[in-house]
Amino acid sequence: MVKAPSIRTQAVIVVAFLAFQALDIITTHIGLRLSHPELNSIMAPIVGSQGELAAYAVKGVAIAVLLGVLMMLQYRRPRVWQAFRIGACLTAVGVAANLYQLLV
């Protein structure tokens, strides 16, 4: 049986996940203000049709749902923590892509 990570590790995972999400929002906002295209193929149509604020609302709801799932499943399915680690890493890659686009 898989054990859940320690409380400290759980805190690091959640903080890293949320920090990378915040950095993604900041770098996306800066990029859009500098007339760069939205790199996220899921969010690009929302930004194009409904605007930047609507895209951030969708992102916020998605993050809230993911955190709710984590809260409900963390004891029955400790592997959910691995999914959040992967999510934080994927968001870090997105932030790196945003920064590359801003700097080039």
Convert the pLDDT of each residue in 27-61 to its tens digit: 999 999 999 998 888 899 999 999 999 999 999 99
* Of residues 48, 54, 50, 56, the one with CA closest to residue 26: 56
**Which alpha helices (H) appear in 41-79, and where do they start and end?**
44-50, 52-73
What pLDDT, on the 0 to 100 scale, is given for residue 84? 86
Convert the pLDDT of each residue in 76-98 to its tens digit: 888 888 888 898 999 999 999 99
Question: Taking 70 as the threshold, does the pLDDT of residue 22 lie above it?
Answer: yes
Full-model pTM:
0.85
Task: Give the number of residues written for the chain.
Answer: 104
Answer for the pair 4, 74: CB distance below 8 angstroms, yes or no.
yes
